Structure 1
Amino acid sequence: MGLVLMVAAIIVVQREMRHLHWADIRHALVGIPAATLWAGAGMTVLSYVVLSFYDWLAVRQIGRTMPFRRTAFAAFCSYVLSHNLGFSAISGAAVRFRLYGNWGLRPLEVAQIIAFCSATYLLGAAVLIGGVLLWEPEMVPVVGAHVPHLLLEAVGLLLWG
C-alpha cells in the first residue's frame, strides 16, 4: 500500500510541476521574507513539541511513566508518517504499537495511548476549525463563498462546544 501511495504521489507531483521551472520556484521563494520562513520553521518545531505532549500525557493517563524523550520520539515518528502518508489510524498507530510494545507496554495500553492521542488531536483541530468558522468564515475554500456566514459561525460554535 505504501509503495502504491508513493508512486501515485510521484505521478501527481510530476503532473503538477510539469509547467513549473526551477527559476520560477526560486524566484517565488526569494520573495518570501526570511523572517517568515524562520517563523514557519519555528511553528513547525513548536507543533511537534505540542504533539509530543499528547503522547506523554497519554502514557501518564494509563498509569505508566516514561521519559519525555521516549514519548517525544514515538510521537514524532508517528506524526511524521501519519501526516505525510495519511491513513493516520493505520500508519501512526503501527509506529506507536511497534515502539511502545518494544518499550514494555501491553497492546491494550498502546491502544489507549492511540485513542487518547487521536482524541486530543481531533479536539485541537475542532478548536482551530471552529475559530476559523467564527472569525473568518469567508476564508473557507468553496464553502465560504456559497454558505451563509451565520450557518458557518453556528458550526464553529458547535465545534467549540
Structure 2
Amino acid sequence: MASPDTCAELQLDNQLCFALYSTSLLMTKVYKPLLQELGLTYPQYLAMMVLWEGDGLTVSEMSARLLTDPGSVTPLLKRLEADGLLDRVRSSADERVVELHLTDKGRALRERAKRIPGCIVQASRRSAAQLTALKEELTALRSSLQEML
C-alpha cells in the first residue's frame, strides 16, 4: 500500500539500478542450464571467455578484464585448475606474477561453448542487432560510471 507521501523518484520500478540488477539475475538464470552442460558457473564462464580471447594472461590482467580484484578471482581460477581447464604457473621473470594457460581440455571446451551466445539471443526474443545496440549502451554507461570512481 502506497503512502500519500510516496515520491516517484524512490519507487523501485522507476530505478535504473533495479532494472539492471533484476535483469542481470534473470540473465544468469538463463545461462545456468547452458553452463551446467559445460560444468561451469557463470563467473567461471566469464574467466574462460577471457582466456579463449588470449591465453597466457596473468591473474592481474584477468581480474582487470573482469573488473574485479585479484583476491576474488583467485578461488575461481583454482577451481578451473582443479577441473583441468587451466594451469596457473609462476612467471620465471617475476615469481610474484601468476600466469594462466589453457589446457587442451580448456581449449576444447571453447568449441562446446560456441552455441551459448545463440541460445541467449533466442531466449531474449530480441534480434542480434537489438542486443548489440543494448550492449553498446550498457558499455557506455559502465564507462561513464567508471570515470566517476
User: Normalising by structure 1, what TM-score?
Assistant: 0.33
Structure showing the higher helix proportion among its residues: 1
Higher strand share: 2
